[in-house]
Amino acid sequence: MWVRTAREEDLQAVHALLAETWHSTFDSVMGEGTVASVIETQFSISSLREKLKRPYSEFVVADSGDGTLLGMAFASQTDDSVATLSDLFVRPTEQVQGLGTMLLAEVEMAFPGVQVMRLDVVERQTEAVSFFNRKGYVAVGRGTDWGAANCDEPKLIMEKSLETWDL
């Protein structure tokens, strides 16, 4: 298994991975209909293609070696000193094996000169909140604006200083 840059030919598999992971993780939180809408809008092939082409961004996948994608991450630089982690997902059957840590490390290292990595996480997803806490992220705010997701699920806004980057 290795982490590599996502390619155009990966997009269908990334979409399938995101659909599986989102339904497994969020159906009980947001409802199946909302999750399906998010997958259709934010993770459509065309949306993923836009991410792939976005300047000042990093789109990586965890590749099993046989072509199966086990996870993905996407982050983009949002200003001179801040990058935002938009997506970090690992196939449910592959979680708690270090893949999320590897994907996170890859995107954290991708932005030289950036001082802060920021992300939003569903507050009720305690496993995800704990994961990011263990990786050095701290809550700096709360909100409910999920943009296109169109739901009112409370989220934590978390940040990590990258000035002294460490796993």
Given this model, what pLDDT does residue 154 score? 85
Quote the pTM value: 0.90
For the chain, list residues with pLDDT below 50: none
CA angle at 131 for the pair 133 and 145, rounded to the nearest 5°:
80
Tell me the per-residue pLDDT of 75-107, one tens digit each, with 9 for 90 and over.
999 888 999 999 999 988 888 888 899 999 999
Q: 73 with 85: CB under 8 angstroms?
A: yes
Given this model, what pLDDT does residue 21 score? 86
Given this model, what pLDDT does residue 147 score? 55
Residues ≥6 apart with Cβ < 8 Å to 94: 62, 70, 71
CATH homologous superfamily of 2-161 equals Gcn5-related N-acetyltransferase (GNAT) (3.40.630.30)
Q: 151 with 42: CB under 8 angstroms?
A: no
Q: 142 with 126: CB under 8 angstroms?
A: no
With 0-12 / 13-18 / 19 or more C-beta atoms within 10 angstroms meaning exposed / middle / buried, residue 17 is: buried
